[in-house]
Amino acid sequence: MSNNITLLGKTFVPYIKNEDLMKDIDAVADKINKDFASAEDIPIILCVLKGALMFTSEILRRLDFLCELQTIRLQSYDGDHSTGVCQQILGLNTNIKGRRVIIVEDIVDTGNSMEYLMGHLKELGAEDVKICSMLFKPSVFKKDFKIDYVARSIPPAFIVGFGLDYNEMGRQFKDIYVAND
């Protein structure tokens, strides 16, 4: 794993090695494959941009069933903290009425974004919505729905790498780093 990194004056230290993350992704993809093994429909894999791009790519490589990839872009962070307000920056460009959707997200903490997105997808007529998150912060999650597929649970911490950013910086690192403050 690489040494510390500095982004916009903030230092981050190694946290999760890429090899460990790949094992977590293997395990969560196996669960999804088992749940969708007998699917006669073609579920939609909905990548939440930009953070989930790398995770979605790895999940897709491991899926054994036919699926359709779509993207959506939400924004609820300003720098290193959640604003508590979710905005849709880039919307869906396909009809999801009567379709099953698996939302693929980089990290779920408060759950505000997922609550917003699930409601939006149900309004658009999705038959079923599942959530797959690379990382999950259960200690700050206070919502009434479950995260169906979690690659790894972590404590509350500010992290970057493998798609996660700090003001758009740091997404490219293959490992995940945690703020050192």
Q: Annotated active-site positions, please?
A: 109
Contact status, residue 12 vs residue 160, Cβ threshold 8 Å: yes
Find all residues with CB under 8 Å of 126, minimum gap 6, and list them: 96, 97, 98, 99, 100, 101
Q: Is 146 exposed, middle or buried (0-12, 13-18, 19+ CB in 10 A)?
A: exposed
Q: How far apart are CA 99 and CA 9, in angstroms?
A: 45
Tokens of 110: 């408060």
Alpha helix segments (H runs only) across 43-176: 53-62, 112-123
Angle 18-36/53-62 helices, nearest 10 degrees? 50
CA dihedral for 7, 10, 15, 16, sign (positive or negative): negative
Neighbouring CB atoms inside 10 A of 178's CB total 17
